[in-house]
A and B are shown apart, each in its own frame.
Chain A
Amino acid sequence: MKEGGARIGIDVGGTFTDFVLSHPSDGSLTYYKEPSTPDEPSRALIEGLRSLLRIAGLTPADVSVLMHGTTIGLNAIIQRRGATIALVVSEGYRDILEIARSRMPSSFDFHAAKEEPLVPRFRVVEIAARLSASGEVTSRPDDAEIDRVAGELKALGVDAAAMVLINGYTSPEVETELAARLSERAGGLSITSAAAIWPEIREYERTLVACLNAYIQPLMQRYFNGLAEGLAKDGVTAPILVTASNGGSLSLASAAARPVETILSGPASGVMAAARLAEAADVSAIITFDMGGTSSDIAVASGGTAELATRTDIGGLPLVLPVVDVSAIGAGGGSIVWVDAHGVMKVGPQSAGAMPGPVSYGRGGTEPAVTDCYLALGYIDPNGFLGGRMRLDIEAATAALCGIGGRIGMSGENAAQKAAEGALAVTTAGMATELYKTLASRGLDPATFALVPFGGAGPTHANLLAEETGIGHVVIPPAAGTFCAMGAAAADLRRDFVRSLRRPLDEDTAALLWRTFDMLGEEGADWLDREGEQTLERRFERGVDMRYAGQAYELRVSLAEDLKDPKAIAEAFHREHERLYGFRDTGAEIELGTARLAVIGATANLAQAEIAAGTGNPERKGARPLFRKGAWLDAGVYSRSALGAGDRIIGPAIIEQDDTTTVVLPGWSARADRAGNLHLERQAQ
C-alpha cells in the first residue's frame, strides 16, 4: 500500500454504486453515487471512480487502495444464474443436495416446494472414495475409477465442479490430492474441494460451501479480471481488495479463488462501519438498522466488532461460513400498504421496488408504499428527495392513502394522514416484534442498546422504532446513505479457518487443539504475507465449539492465547454455558468440536475528520407541519451539513441531508458530536 494515499471504499448495489474516498491530506471524506450497470457492473465502477477522483481533485496515482464490495455472487445464487457445475461425491451420496437436511420451507402449506438444487441430479457423479470418521481412507479409487469419473465430467461439459468425500474433513489433503488428479484427467477442469475450502464436519453444509464457490467462481473471475484490466487502463495501480461476508477483506486473487467468502459482503460492511463508529463515539453496544427499499435488516455489535453467525440462509440454502449476523426484520421504504378482504391493514411483504416504485415517484405505481406515508405525514420533503434530483408527487400519494383510509373506516379531515400513521404503526410494530425475537434468541434486552440506522430510510424511521422498542439512544452516522461503502473503505484483512476435531477434552486433546491452532495460524500468517497489503498489526482470534457429551448443541467459546490447560478450557466452557443457558454440568464429560481461527490484518485506520463547533442552537432553514398522533405539529427543518459539534435540536424536528432525512419526534432531542454523528436521545420527562 502506498503510504499516505487515498483509501476508496466502493459498494456495488442493485441501483447505485456508492463511493467513499478518504482524503490523504486531512482525512476528509468525499461521497459519490453512480447509477449501477447491472449488465456489466465494472463499467459503473470505473466511470464512477473517474468522477470521484475529479471531484476530490486527485489522480489515479494518488489512490493507495481500493476496497470493494459486490452482490454479483449473491444475485447469481438467488436467481440461479451461476455456472453450469458438476458435483463429485462419495458413492452412495448422489442425493446429498436433493435430501439436504430434509426439511421443507413450510410445514403447513402443502403446495410448498423445496429449494431448487444448485446441481441437478444428472450432474452429480459418484466416485468410489471415502474416509472413516477417524480419518482412514476406507475406499480409494484406482486409476480406472478416476478415469471413469473424469470421462463423465468431460461428457457433461461443465464449467467447473465441486467435490466432497464423506469424512473428508478429517484429512483435507486426501480430497485435495484427489481433486487435483481428477482435474488433471478432466482437461484441467476447475474443481473446488470441500475439505480444502472448509474442513468442518457435516457433509451437506460443507458440500454447499464447495458448490456455491464453484457456482459463482467463473462469473466472479470474469468480473474481477475485467475490473483489474479496466482500472489498469485508467492508470490505477493501487491494490484492489474485496470485502468479505465476515466483515473483513481479501485480495483480488484470494477472492477469485474463494468467491464464496464474499457473497454477503454488502450488509457486512455496513454493520462493521457502524461497529467502528460506535466504538469511536464511546457507545458500547449497538443494534444496526439498515432500512432500504425492499426490506430492513438488523445486526448486533459491541466493542467495535459485529456478532458473527455460522449458519445463515442464502436463497433457501444454509451457509456455514462465519458471516456478520444480519437478520431481516420486515418492511422497507417501498413496501406496499394494503387492506385485506376482512378489513385488516397490512404492510408488505410485496414491494413496489424501484419500478414502478411508490405512488409518489409518478412512475405508474398505484398502491401506496411506506415512502408515500413519510411524504403524507411531512417526514420528507417532496422537493428534497435525492438532494432534489427527483420531485415526489405528494397529491398522488395522499389520494392513494385516502383510498386505503376509506377501506378501513377512516374518513373526513386528514384521512390520508391517519391511514399513513396507521400504516407506519403497523410497520414499526412488525419491525419491533422481529427485533425482540432476534434478541430473545440470544438472551439480550434491546433497552440496553443504542440504535444505529443507515440506508436511505433508516434515519427517517429510526426514531419510531426506538420509541416502540424502548431504546433510548439513536446514533445517526454522517453519510447514512452510503454507509456500506464507508465500511468497505475501512475494512481489515480477515480470513477464517476451521478444523473439526470431535474429541473428548483431556490433556492430549487440549494439546492437539493448540497444535491445530498453531497449524491454522501458520496457514493464516502465510496467507496474510501473500495478500500484498502492508498491515499495521496482525491478530489471531481463536475459538472452539464445545459441548457436554451427549448434548445435541455446541457452544462457541473464545480462547485467549494463554488458555492451554484443559481445566481452564473446561472452565471457559462452563462459564459460557452458564451465561447463555443458566446452568453448568460439572459432572459431564466435555467434547471439543470444531476449532476456529480467524487471522486479522488491521489496515490503516481512516483519519477522523471533525466538524467545526456549533453555536449550540442551530438555525432552522425552515419549518413544515408534521402529522403525529392525529394532529399537525410545527416542526423545524434543519440542514445536516450546517450543524456544528455540540448543536442541539429539540423535537419535533426534521434534519435533512442529500441522501436521507432524519425525523426527531416530540419528546426527543438531537445532538451533533465532533465526528458529525447525530445522537437522538429521549428527553427526561
Chain B
Amino acid sequence: MKLDSVTLAILGNKLAAVSEEMCLTLQRTGRTLYVKETADFACALAGLDGRFFAYPRSIGVSGFVGLECAPAIAAVGPLEPGDVILTNDPYRSEGLATHLPDLHMIEPYFHDGRIVAYGWCFVHCSDVGGRVPSSISPTNTEIFQEGLRIPPVKLMKRGEMNPDVKLFLDANSRTPDANMGDIRAMLAALTAGRRRLEQTIGQHGAETVSQAAEDLVSYAAEKARAVIDRVPAGTYAFSDYLDDDAVTKLPVRLSLAATFGNGEVHLDFTGTDPQVATAMNIPSRGRPHAWLTLRVLALVSTLDPTAPLNVGLLGPVRITAPEGSLVNPQEPAATGVRHAAAIRVNDVLNGAFGKALPHVMPAASSGSVIPVVMAEPDGQGGKRVQVIEPMIGGTGARSGSDGVDGRDSGISNLSNNPVETVEAEMAVEILRYGLRPDSGGVGQWRGGCGMELTFRVLAGGTNVLGRGMERLLFRPWGSNGGGPGMPAQLIVNKGRADERHLGKIDILEVNAGDTVTFLTPGAGGWGPASLRDPQAVAGDVRNGFVTAEGARAGYGVVIAHGEVDEAATAGLRKTFAVSNNPNDQGPERERWNSVFDGDVMDQLNQKLVALPAASRQRRRRDILERVLAGLPQNFPRVDADHGAIQIARQQLEAALSDL
C-alpha cells in the first residue's frame, strides 16, 4: 500500500459510496419487480484489470464481488467516451453474466483522454425470450432455450444508443418496454458513477484515486490473508448432493477438497458430477467465480467485518473446477437456475471449512429457496402469475448459538410478501404461514426451524409452481454431533381424505378448494443433543419450536406441566448415546453412501469428466440406473438388505473399471 493512512481511509469510503450511490440511482429509476422489491441488481467500480475495487456493502446483490469484466471489455475492442458495453452471455463474457436474464453493462470512465476505471452494473430483467415466460426453467437443456444471447456489444456508441442492438433486444423479449426501462435505469446509474468519480478525481487527483483503487485491493487481500491464516493448515474434504437434476431422479453430487496453508485457500472441486442436462450448471469458466466463493467472502466478513468489499478478498483463493463439470460447464449447457446448485456449493464449502474451524462455522442451513408461484386464469384467456411467498428455512446452529428460525440469508436476503397484498391480488386464502416445529436439527445448539406455508386455492384452472424445492431427500446436515434438519415436504389437502404427499413438482395443477402445504427443511444442529441444557429444551417447548414429544425423542428431556421433570430426564438421558458424528447427514445419505461411497464417486466423476461432453451424462445415467435397479424402488428413502447393497457395490465398481 502506497497511500497514507488518512487518504486511504477517505478514498476507501468515497469509492465504496460511489458504487452505493450508483445502486441507489438504479433502484430509484429502475422499473421492474426485480429492481424495486427484490434488489436483484448491483453496481461497482472496476480497475483497468476489469476487477472490482469498490463494491456496495448495504444494497443490491452482495455476492458478485469476484466477477471479472476484462473478457467482455476485450471482446468489443477499443472504447471511446460514451461507449457502453452490454452482455448477458455466460460463455462469451467468460462468466461475467451467469444466466441470460442478467443484463450486464460496462462503461469506460475517461479522464484526460484515457480510461481510469470502468463502471459496471447488472439487473435481472423480466424476460429475454426463450422457451418460457421470464426465460428461466430448470428443465431447459441448452442455453439456446433460455432466450436471446447477447455477446459483449456496444449498446451505446459515443453516448448514442445503437439502434440495431435495440431492435434485436426489443424483438426478443416478452416485456420489451420493461426491459428498456431497466436499461435506462442502468445507464442512469453508470452516469451517476461517472459524475461522482469525476468529482472525486477533482478533489484528490487522478493518480491518487488510481493508487487508492490498487491499495484498497491490496488492503482487502491482506485482511483476507490474515483471516485465512487463522485456519489450521491442511486439506478438508466434504461432499453433498442435490436431490436430483429436476428431470431425472438421480442425485447430483458436489465434492470439494479445501486446502489451507501459507495464507491461501485452494478450492478443488474435482469429484463433482459432470454438467447436467438441465439448467443448474454454474458457468464459472474455471475462475474463482462469485458463485463458488461466496462462503469465503462470508468467512472473511464474519471474522473481520472491517475488511473493505472488493476483489482483494478473493486474493488468497485458488480454484480447480474441472471443465465439463457442474461447476464449470461447457457450452451450450443451460445455466438459468444456477443458484440452485450454488446453494449446495455453499454447503460443501461450509462443511469443509467446518472441519477446519468447528467452533466458527455453523451446521448446514436449510439450503433451499423456493419462490412458491401461483398462475391463475386472468379472465382473458391468459394467466396471472405471482409469487405467493419466497419460502426459505432457517440457519444452522453453531458452537454457542442456536440457528435462526425461519430466516436464511446464505444465498440471497429477500423480503417476503405481505399475506394481505397477496390475498388482495390473487384468488387465494393463506391459511398458515409459520414455523415448522421439530424441524430444526437436534443438538447442544438447535438448528433453525424450517417453515410451513398452507394456502387454499379459490379459483379452478390454477397452477402452483415450486421451483427450487430441494432437500426433500438429503437433509441439511448437523455438525459435531448435532442432528440433521427435517427434509422438505409437499402435501396437497393435508388432513383431508384426499390428502396427497408429492415429491418435487415443476407445475402442479390444482382444483378450486384444494389446499397446498409446503414444508421447508429445518437446519442442522451443532453438538450432541444429549448435552443441551434441559432448561433450553423446556424454553423451546414453551415457545413451541420443539414439541414435548420432540423433546423426549430428540433430546431425552421429559417435560411435565411445562417444566423439566428432572428425574425422568436423568433416567432417559442415561439411555441416550452421545453422538460424535462430525456431520450427521441423515439416514438417506448414509444408505446412499453404503453403495455410492465417496472414493468411488470421486473416481467415477474423474473418469466421466474426461469423456466427450455428449456421452458423459448418458454414461452416468446408465451406470447409476443399472446399480439402482437392484435396490428397492424408494432407495435411499428406505433400507436395502445387506445382500442387495453388496451386489450394487460390485456393479458400481465393475462399471467404474469398464469406463
* Residues in chain A within 8 A of chain B (CB atoms): 91-95, 98-104, 106-114, 120-122, 132-133, 138, 166-167, 169, 201-205, 339-346, 408-409, 422-423, 425-426, 429-430, 432-434, 436-437, 440-443, 502, 551-553, 580-583, 585
10 contacts between A and B (CB under 8 A): A92-B433, A98-B434, A104-B409, A114-B404, A122-B543, A132-B423, A166-B420, A203-B419, A434-B17, A441-B27
CB distance from A335 to the nearest CB of B (A): 14
| Residues on the B chain within 8 Å of A433, using CB | 13-14, 16-17, 20
| Residues on the A chain within 8 Å of B421, using CB | 201-202
In angstroms, Cα B409 to Cα A113, docked, is: 11
Stretch at the interface among B127-135, B145-153, B300-308, B637-645: B300-308
Which parts of B1-20 form the interface with A (CB within 8 Å)? 1, 4-6, 8-10, 12-14, 16-17, 20
> B118 in the interface, Cβ–Cβ < 8 Å?
no
CB distance from B338 to the nearest CB of A (A): 18
Q: Point out the residue from B401, B409, B424, B542 that lies within 8 Å of A201, measured CB to CB.
A: B424
In angstroms, Cα B306 to Cα A430, docked, is: 14
Contact call A408/B418, Cβ cutoff below 8 A: no
| Residues on the A chain within 8 Å of B17, using CB | 433-434, 436-437
In angstroms, Cα B435 to Cα A409, docked, is: 55
Contact call B5/A344, Cβ cutoff below 8 A: yes
Identify 16 new A-B residue pairs, CB closer than 8 A, beyond the known A110-B361, A110-B362, A114-B407.
A95-B435, A98-B434, A99-B407, A99-B435, A106-B409, A107-B62, A107-B413, A108-B297, A121-B544, A169-B420, A340-B306, A343-B1, A344-B219, A433-B13, A433-B17, A583-B31
> B241 in the interface, Cβ–Cβ < 8 Å?
no
| Residues on the A chain within 8 Å of B87, using CB | none
Contact call B301/A113, Cβ cutoff below 8 A: no
In angstroms, Cα B412 to Cα A442, docked, is: 25
Contact call A409/B4, Cβ cutoff below 8 A: yes
| Residues on the B chain within 8 Å of A582, using CB | 29, 184, 188
In angstroms, Cα B192 to Cα A426, docked, is: 23
In angstroms, Cα B1 to Cα A109, docked, is: 27
> B416 in the interface, Cβ–Cβ < 8 Å?
yes
Contact call B192/A440, Cβ cutoff below 8 A: yes
Q: Point out the residue from B12, B192, B416 that lies within 8 Å of A101, measured CB to CB.
A: B416
Contact call B543/A120, Cβ cutoff below 8 A: yes
Per-residue CB contact flags for chain B residues 196-216 toward chain A (1 = under 8 Å, else 0) read 100000000000000000000
In angstroms, Cα B302 to Cα A409, docked, is: 29
CB distance from B80 to the nearest CB of A (A): 25
> B142 in the interface, Cβ–Cβ < 8 Å?
no
Contact call B6/A111, Cβ cutoff below 8 A: no
| Residues on the B chain within 8 Å of A442, using CB | 28
Q: Point out the residue from A99, A104, A109, A583 that lies within 8 Å of B433, measured CB to CB.
A: A99
> B226 in the interface, Cβ–Cβ < 8 Å?
yes
Q: Point out the residue from B33, B219, B454 that lies within 8 Å of A552, measured CB to CB.
A: B33
Contact call A98/B435, Cβ cutoff below 8 A: yes
| Residues on the B chain within 8 Å of A132, using CB | 423, 429
Contact call A92/B8, Cβ cutoff below 8 A: no
Per-residue CB contact flags for chain B residues 155-166 toward chain A (1 = under 8 Å, else 0) read 000000000000
Which parts of B379-429 form the interface with A (CB within 8 Å)? 390, 392, 395, 398, 401, 404-410, 412-416, 418-421, 423-424, 429
- In the complex, which of the residues B28, B33, B401 has the most CB atoms of chain A within 10 Å of its own CB atom? B28
The closest CB in chain A to the CB of B391 belongs to A102
In angstroms, Cα B59 to Cα A441, docked, is: 11
Also in contact, A122 and B542, with CB within 8 A (given A107-B413, A110-B395): yes
Contact call B5/A408, Cβ cutoff below 8 A: yes
| Residues on the A chain within 8 Å of B414, using CB | 102-103
> B75 in the interface, Cβ–Cβ < 8 Å?
no
In angstroms, Cα B188 to Cα A350, docked, is: 36
Also in contact, A167 and B6, with CB within 8 A (given A108-B301, A113-B404, A436-B17): no
The closest CB in chain B to the CB of A99 belongs to B406
> B24 in the interface, Cβ–Cβ < 8 Å?
yes
> B229 in the interface, Cβ–Cβ < 8 Å?
no
| Residues on the A chain within 8 Å of B404, using CB | 104, 113-114
> B549 in the interface, Cβ–Cβ < 8 Å?
no
In angstroms, Cα B31 to Cα A232, docked, is: 58
> B293 in the interface, Cβ–Cβ < 8 Å?
no
CB distance from B4 to the nearest CB of A (A): 7
Contact call A345/B5, Cβ cutoff below 8 A: yes
Per-residue CB contact flags for chain B residues 20-32 toward chain A (1 = under 8 Å, else 0) read 1100110111011
In angstroms, Cα B24 to Cα A442, docked, is: 9
| Residues on the B chain within 8 Å of A440, using CB | 21, 24-25, 28, 192
| Residues on the B chain within 8 Å of A409, using CB | 4-5
Contact call B21/A102, Cβ cutoff below 8 A: no
In angstroms, Cα B434 to Cα A91, docked, is: 11
Contact call B413/A104, Cβ cutoff below 8 A: yes
Contact call B37/A552, Cβ cutoff below 8 A: yes
- In the complex, which of the residues B5, B12, B415 has the most CB atoms of chain A within 10 Å of its own CB atom? B5
In angstroms, Cα B414 to Cα A103, docked, is: 6
In angstroms, Cα B34 to Cα A551, docked, is: 11
> B618 in the interface, Cβ–Cβ < 8 Å?
no
| Residues on the B chain within 8 Å of A91, using CB | 432
Q: Point out the residue from A103, A122, A342, A580 that lies within 8 Å of B544, measured CB to CB.
A: A122
| Residues on the B chain within 8 Å of A346, using CB | 9, 306
Q: Point out the residue from B24, B219, B302 that lies within 8 Å of A437, measured CB to CB.
A: B24
> B508 in the interface, Cβ–Cβ < 8 Å?
no
In angstroms, Cα B305 to Cα A633, docked, is: 40
> B545 in the interface, Cβ–Cβ < 8 Å?
yes
> B451 in the interface, Cβ–Cβ < 8 Å?
yes
CB distance from B146 to the nearest CB of A (A): 24
Q: Point out the residue from A103, A108, A201 that lies within 8 Å of B415, measured CB to CB.
A: A103
CB distance from A173 to the nearest CB of B (A): 18
Contact call B28/A441, Cβ cutoff below 8 A: yes
| Residues on the B chain within 8 Å of A581, using CB | 28-29, 31
> B339 in the interface, Cβ–Cβ < 8 Å?
no
Q: Point out the residue from A98, A201, A202, A345 that lies within 8 Å of B9, measured CB to CB.
A: A345
Contact call B219/A342, Cβ cutoff below 8 A: yes
| Residues on the A chain within 8 Å of B188, using CB | 582
Contact call B415/A344, Cβ cutoff below 8 A: no
Contact call A345/B6, Cβ cutoff below 8 A: yes
Q: Point out the residue from A422, A441, A552, A585 that lies within 8 Å of B24, measured CB to CB.
A: A441
- In the complex, which of the residues B13, B62, B362 has the most CB atoms of chain A within 10 Å of its own CB atom? B13
Contact call A436/B420, Cβ cutoff below 8 A: no
> B570 in the interface, Cβ–Cβ < 8 Å?
no
Contact call B424/A553, Cβ cutoff below 8 A: no
> B181 in the interface, Cβ–Cβ < 8 Å?
yes
Also in contact, A430 and B13, with CB within 8 A (given A94-B434, A98-B406, A202-B420): yes
In angstroms, Cα B424 to Cα A113, docked, is: 32
| Residues on the A chain within 8 Å of B9, using CB | 344-346, 426, 429
> B578 in the interface, Cβ–Cβ < 8 Å?
no
> B194 in the interface, Cβ–Cβ < 8 Å?
no
Also in contact, A437 and B21, with CB within 8 A (given A95-B434, A121-B544, A203-B418): yes
Contact call A121/B37, Cβ cutoff below 8 A: no
Q: Point out the residue from B13, B226, B412, B416 that lies within 8 Å of A99, measured CB to CB.
A: B416
| Residues on the B chain within 8 Å of A423, using CB | 6
CB distance from B174 to the nearest CB of A (A): 14
Contact call A102/B416, Cβ cutoff below 8 A: yes
CB distance from B56 to the nearest CB of A (A): 10
Contact call A110/B302, Cβ cutoff below 8 A: yes
> B298 in the interface, Cβ–Cβ < 8 Å?
yes
Per-residue CB contact flags for chain B residues 448-474 toward chain A (1 = under 8 Å, else 0) read 000100100000000000000000000
